[in-house]
Amino acid sequence: MKLKGWRELTPGAVILEAGNAVEFKTGSWRAFKPIWKQENCIQCLFCWLFCPDMAVKVKDGKRADFDYEYCKGCGICALECPGKKGKKAIVMVEEGN
């Protein structure tokens, strides 16, 4: 994306397009990556509910995979995940490993 010059900016850095945070990809901030283990998932959708970045995708009412373009790796989903029989459906692994 071509960066704008100072003459092209909105006064006061006001953002005029609603919902344009979608253009700001925050996935590169991640140090730990959540991994979804479908076999342990009970479809409670807690991860979807708690994710502050809407990085948990849902398709046809069912849990889909993470959107890693926005997931910052905060780990809230992994913390909240009840899992199945003591086995988490979301685990955090260090990026780059």
Verify binding: residue 61, another protein, rule CB under 8 A. no
Answer yes or no whether residue 2 interacts with another protein by CB under 8 A: no
Decide: is 15 part of the binding site for another protein (CB under 8 A).
yes
Task: Give the nearer residue to another protein in terms of CB position, either 14 or 86.
Answer: 14
Tokens of 86: 């003591």
The least distance separating another protein from the CB of residue 14, rounded to whole angstroms, comes to 5
**Residue 49 CB-half CA count within 13 A:** 7
Q: Does 28 bind another protein (CB under 8 A)?
A: no
SS3 67: coil
